[in-house]
Chain A
Amino acid sequence: MPIGDLAPEIAVLVGAVLVLLAAMALPQRRHGVCAGLALLVLAIAATLATAQLGAHRLTFSGTFALDGATGVARLLILGATALCIGLFPRWFATDRRHGEFYAMVLFSALGAMAMAGAADLMQLAMGILLSSVTGYVLAAWHRDWAISLEAGMKYFLVGALANALLVIGIVLVMGMTGTTDYAALRTADLTAPLALIGLMLVLVGFLFKLGAVPAHTWVPDVAEGAPAPVAAFLTTVPKIAAALALIRLVALVPAEGSSLRLLVALLAAATMTLGNLAALWQDDVRRLIGWSSVSQAGYALMAVAVIGLSDRALPALIAFIGAYVVANIAALAAIVHLRGRTAITGFAGLIRSQPLAAGTLILAFLSLVGIPPLVGFGGKFVLFLAAMDGGYAWLAVVAVANSVLSLFYYARVIGPVTFGTSDERVEALGAPSKAVMLLALVGVALGSSVLLFVWSALPVTALP
């Protein structure tokens, strides 16, 4: 067995165990060391993943796809996790279980990586479950705080249901086709009603991880109630994996003679519209970001809907997700840096008291709208290009209407931040979150050119 093919995953696994051991051995006040250790682990894994970027083969008896899509997903997951880790140390400095936290985050990232590369339904279920179970714990980390517990609980309940359906779906597909292997499923007959139902149930599992309709309800709660740095992690990292894994699965079903793509397109339209409508009148900025993250998942589904119809679908998905992750982390990093400030009224005049955090928040929001030359513009542009190329121009028009709608609620925050006044002295969290914020800010500001530069290097097809 080519153990080396999974070197990045193994590195994260071993690293997580080491972090856990370190957390047990060290006194609480030294738990910050675990953050450094986790970053080191991520760096090693990223180096190993970079070395495998050129690979294009199935490995471990066809259960894991080692291709460009997996490579990019790994790097995105590791990068996003590293950015999030910078947000944790000060936030959890007084937490009794500070050190263990990093182990949990690494396990969660590992689940995401396993999900992104899965080329077999069972392997997929394992990835989704690992990512979910750790996610519940992370969301409810402040277990003495009711809202955090509530967020974890809702996440868990929706997740348990969605994952149960996912597993039943897998069983149905396996029962009808005799295989869970993607390469075999590609040629298998999936038209039997039970197999179709199975496929739909599997889809629900994905929609849960992606935070899309109809399994989206956890996103705003987690964004509001989970510790703010955890919200940054949970609204980005699992979504990267879910989007890539979903497009890999949908690509198995031929574009002709199946209405799966139309279904995905309808889900995309529903998700973006619902997310935006719900975000309109939120007075809690974290909850607003949560709903906006739902609508962004809807945009991402646009690319999934045209896989097989346009050569640009996969690169567009990667580009869009990358852009979303950078902007969303930037927005939440600004909020973390402001010590989790949430009420919209608390943001008045922030541009003068905390210019850097306010600027980051504004640019992140404008990027999520898709204003050029911010990174979100590059993402949305290639997304529209792919959707129209694949014959889903109406979906692009729906996305346009939604982008306009989204500007309205982002501006409800941007307006007070820029034009409002306040005498309040605003405290910030400290150097690590500031550094993350700056990094994400640079990504938001310059990302579009980077994105379009690497565009032609992005993978066009995914295995199998």
Chain B
Amino acid sequence: MLTLCILVPLLGALALAAIPSIRESTARTIAIAVTAVPLLLLLVVWAGFAPGAGFQSVAEARWIPSLGIAWRVGVDGMSLSLSLLTGVVFLAAVAWPMADLPRARAYYAWFAFLYAVSLGLFVTLDLILFYVFFDLSLVGMYFLIGRWGHGEAQAAALKFFVYTLAGSLLILIGIIALALSMPEITFDMRAIIAAAPLAAAGLPAALVLLGLFVGFGIKTPLFPVHTWLPPAHVNAPGPVSAILAGVLLKMGTYGLVRLALQMMPQTFVDWALPLGVVAVISILWGAIVALGQDDLKRRIAYTSVNHMGYAVLGIAVAGSAMGTQAARDIALTGAVVEMIAHGLITGALFLIAGAIWQRHQDYDMAAYGGLAGVAPRLTGATTLAAFASLGLPGLAGFVAELHIFLGAFAVYPWLAAIGLLGILITAALFLQLLGRVFFGALPAARTGFADLTRIELGILAGLLGLVVLIGVWPIWLLEMIGTAPVAVAGG
């Protein structure tokens, strides 16, 4: 079932790339179809999913036994929820109408390809496959940004590629170290999680963990290795940004939990506090720098640094071995919910930014104002997304941040207190953004500003509907993730 989730979009991508006679509208339809099918399959998996019962829907096929590599797929609460998020965000991004798209067939082919590798990354249980998917996501993103971006797209794409390849190769080193330290070489995640092989390795274990932190930290991105993110976002088309923020950044935090936290819990304990500190710096840095941006998209991009900081803070708390088990579990649940919430909210925000670019090719907030009068739908959607992003109760961001800070106050109270400042700044920056773009006087050049089309509104309504649903009735998501999202040994 999960294998099929990867194969369908992959075959779709191949078909789109190989058949030259496909027209643009057909290409979009095919892309939507191959995006929707895995989402439906994942819903079926969810229907048969027993929360908290470890990895499920597992499938395994022998591949290279002498190196302990096999095709292994399976999901637990965290990866199932992230796969579902991937499905939803990709469906929204692929369905997003793109006016005057050059080489549409290739565009949708890359999207389907990126979808396949993103799903693959979340559902695989083999570290080598994990690495393969991780790297391929870079390749897909590189070509999407470089080819369909605007402005300094090539430079931004290259910066993204080089940065994250550095991270992924460090991860490869870590993966090999983990596999080699097993009694018999294997890349089976379940076996390595159960054995936690580097538990007593001292300095080498610390170095491996450091490598994983840096590798995943680049992808997440954490301060100070976040600098690739703003140019990549600013120059990418809206749907690509939505994928980058909504799905690809989650690979970093997912890896932090799956590899660093689960496979090296004993070493993680020693480094939880430094990680927490870096997370809080990212929270504040992201928020403060975002506040200073006049570029709409750059501002949203920096809030990603801020929000992913919350998620990493939750992960650091979960691995700290301090406070109560309950507090740590709450923090980790919060981290996973934050990933979901950020994926939906920021995905929506970037699609909105894309809509604004499509209309006027300008991200400078000073060039807008008073759009509320001409574009009420756009204003409504943006306001809702912005409020969700700043953590208004009743919306998804609040649920996530509440969990994270509940856990964090029990473990690192002073870190949590500093981190709370980030929420205040975020509130300020989003309110200021809304004020500058949507209220005040409408510049003469913007009088003809077209409101969202029905399709655009429908897509945003779908994403934001989920945000509201998680905000007011989060229990279904919390149940899926499980009260103890992942088994942390040691502790």
Query: Do A and B interact?
Result: yes
Partner-B contacts on A (CB < 8 A): 366, 369-373, 377, 381-382, 384-385, 388-389, 393, 396-397, 400-401, 403-404, 407-408, 411, 415, 418-419, 452-453, 455-456
Besides A385-B179, A407-B161, 13 other CB < 8 A contacts? A372-B135, A381-B128, A384-B172, A388-B176, A397-B173, A400-B172, A401-B166, A403-B169, A404-B166, A407-B162, A418-B146, A418-B147, A419-B147
CA distance A65 to B64 in the complex (A): 29
Least CB separation from B181: chain A residue:
A388
From B169, which residue of chain A is reached at the shortest CB distance? A400
B180 partner residues in chain A, CB cutoff 8 A: 385, 388-389
26 pairs of residues in contact across A and B, judged by CB atoms under 8 Å: A371-B135, A371-B136, A372-B132, A381-B176, A385-B180, A388-B177, A393-B177, A396-B173, A396-B176, A397-B173, A400-B170, A400-B172, A400-B173, A404-B162, A404-B165, A404-B169, A407-B165, A408-B162, A418-B143, A419-B146, A419-B153, A419-B154, A452-B64, A452-B69, A453-B64, A455-B67
B interface, over-half SS: helix
**Which parts of B125-183 form the interface with A (CB within 8 Å)?**
128, 131-132, 135-136, 138-139, 143, 146-147, 153-154, 157-158, 161-162, 165-166, 169-170, 172-173, 176-177, 179-180
Number of A-B residue pairs at CB separation under 8 A? 79
- In the complex, chain B residues whose CB is within 8 Å of the CB of A397: 173
Q: Which of A371, A401, A415 contacts B158 (CB 8 A)?
A: A415
Partner of A411, one of B147, B162, B176: B162
Kindly provide the distance from the CB of A350 to the nearest chain B CB, expressed in whole angstroms: 14
CA–CA, A388 to B162, complex, Å?
24
Closest A residue by C-beta to B145: A419
Chain B, 49-104, CB within 8 A of any chain A CB: 63-67, 69
| Chain A neighbourhood of B161, CB < 8 A | 407, 411
Bound form: Cα–Cα A371–B162 in Å? 12
With A407-B165, A419-B146, A455-B64: A384-B176 Cβ-Cβ less than 8 Å: yes
Q: How far is the CA of A385 from the CA of B128 in the complex (A)?
A: 12
Q: How far is the CA of A415 from the CA of B170 in the complex (A)?
A: 24
Main secondary structure of the interface of A (DSSP, over half): helix
Docked complex Cα distance between A372 and B64 (Å): 16
* Residues on B with beta carbons closer than 8 Å to the beta carbon of A396: 173, 176
| B69 proximity list for chain A (CB < 8 A) | 452
CA distance A456 to B157 in the complex (A): 38
Shortest distance from the beta carbon of B229 to any chain A beta carbon, whole Å: 18
Cβ contact within 8 Å between A377 and B162: no
Q: Which residues of A contact B172 (CB under 8 A)?
A: 381, 384, 400
User: Which residues of chain A are within 8 angstroms of B67 by Cβ–Cβ distance?
Assistant: 382, 385, 452, 455
Closest A residue to B153 by CB, please name it. A419
> Are B158 and A393 in contact, with the CB atoms below 8 A?
no
Asked if A377 and B165 sit within 8 Å, CB to CB, the answer is no
In Å, the complex CA distance between A370 and B131 comes to: 12
For A371, the chain B residues whose CB sits under 8 A away are 135-136, 138-139
Q: Name the 3 nearest CB pairs between A and B, nearest first.
A: A456-B66, A372-B132, A400-B169
Contact with A along B199-216 (1 / 0, CB 8 A): 000001000000000000
Q: Which residues in chain B, 321-378, are within 8 Å of chain A measured between CB atoms? A: none
What's the least CB distance linking B291 to chain A, in Å? 32
Give A42 to B24 CA distance when docked, in angstroms. 48
Q: Is B170 a contact of A372 with CB atoms below 8 Å?
A: no
